[in-house]
Amino acid sequence: MGVYELEIGTLPKRVLTRNKNRVLYGVINNSATNVYLGFDSSVATSGEKKGILIQANGGYYIDSSHKGEVWLIAEAATTVTVFEVTPEEKIEKPIYGPPVYGLPPTAVARIQGYDGTDWQNLRVDSSDYPNLLVRVAAGSSKASCFAGLTDARDSALVGLCTQSYLYGFNGSTWDRLRSDVDMHLYVAPGNGSGSVTGTTTDSYTDALIWGGVRKYLHKTILIKNTGSSNSMDYRVLVEAHSGGLQYEETSGTLGPGDIVKIVLNNHYSRIIVQVKSSTAGAPTEYQIDYCGFKG
């Protein structure tokens, strides 16, 4: 077994060459300086290429699997012990398995994270609450945590911006709920409107058949006699089921130029407006405007 006392400086130094017959090798650091182990010339004492720490005052590293080069670098000039075992050399108790790390009796193991330049120790809240600190941040702005039932919070505290969405099921998929231009939530969005015109006859005829009105909570109908000389009669029929029983909601007579407004806020399936000439053989023109709004 080869045992070497080697001087290690602040520049990477190759201490073992590639050896396919290597059974075991190790580094013992009895000096007062930390040493770092790597497997090529890029090993460093800090940063992204920081090597495996072999701590001062008794730290060691033993590996039975790596057959390639071994490099060392130190924080300051120092001396370490390096040994290598090959099959021809007798070992009273061979060591197989993953690398073995040894630390001095006073050493402390730490979990570190890379900050882009160097490795930093991860921290916990406190000794009373040893929870790993995880911070949400954007640049130098760090989100703050505080109890919900508190007032008089510092205006300089940075809050965490979150987004949530309300969804409604359309029978097949979930879609986002919408709001109108005034930022009012569309609880039952939508409306409908229309207009019809015509000329009366001597008997009642359907001037407006408005179907599908069950979706409208508020319904308004305007009926106007647009003629200039003759009167007209009207009546408004409602159905709870389309094509079923009809109920006469209201009726009346309009002289030339007269208009009536009818507001229906009950639920119906269909609304029918019928008109006729008040006097036989004396027709007149009419216009019916209507609109519905989902409540």
Q: How many distinct structural domains can be found in the chain?
A: 2
DSSP string, 130-197: -PBP---EETTEEB----SS--S--TTPBPPP-----EEE-SSSEEE--B-TT--B-SS--EEEEEEE
**Domain termination residue (choose one: 102, 120, 150):** 102
pLDDT score at 154: 76
| In a domain? residue 97 | yes
| In a domain? residue 174 | no
| In a domain? residue 109 | no
Q: 151: burial class by Cβ within 10 Å (0-12, 13-18, 19+)?
A: exposed
Question: Which domain CATH number covers 204?
Answer: 2.60.120.510
User: How many CA atoms lie within 13 Å of 194's alpha carbon, on the beta-carbon side?
Assistant: 9
What's the N-to-C CA distance of the chain in angstroms?
Answer: 91
| In a domain? residue 89 | yes
Average pLDDT on 215-226 reads 94
What is the per-residue pLDDT across 151-176, written as a single tens digit (0 to 9) for each?
Answer: 777 777 766 667 778 888 888 999 98
H helices, E strands: number in the chain: 0, 23
CA 131 to centroid of chain Cα atoms: 25
**Domain termination residue (choose one: 84, 102, 120):** 102
Classified as helix, coil or strand, 242 is: coil
pLDDT score at 89: 59
pLDDT at 131 over 80: yes
Choose between 104 and 2: higher pLDDT: 2
Choose between 234 and 179: higher pLDDT: 234
pLDDT at 261 over 90: yes
| In a domain? residue 6 | yes
Rg of the chain, C-alpha, whole Å = 45
pTM across the whole model: 0.42
pLDDT score at 96: 46
| In a domain? residue 7 | yes
* Backbone angle region of 236, left / alpha / beta, with phi > 0 → left and psi within -120 to 50 → alpha: beta
**Domain termination residue (choose one: 82, 102, 122):** 102
* Backbone angle region of 138, left / alpha / beta, with phi > 0 → left and psi within -120 to 50 → alpha: beta
| In a domain? residue 130 | no
pLDDT at 77 over 90: yes
> How far apart are alpha carbons 138 and 36 in whole angstroms?
33
Question: Which domain CATH number covers 37?
Answer: 2.60.120.770
pLDDT at 146 over 90: no
pLDDT score at 176: 87
Note down the domain range covering 17.
Answer: 2-102
pLDDT at 178 over 90: no
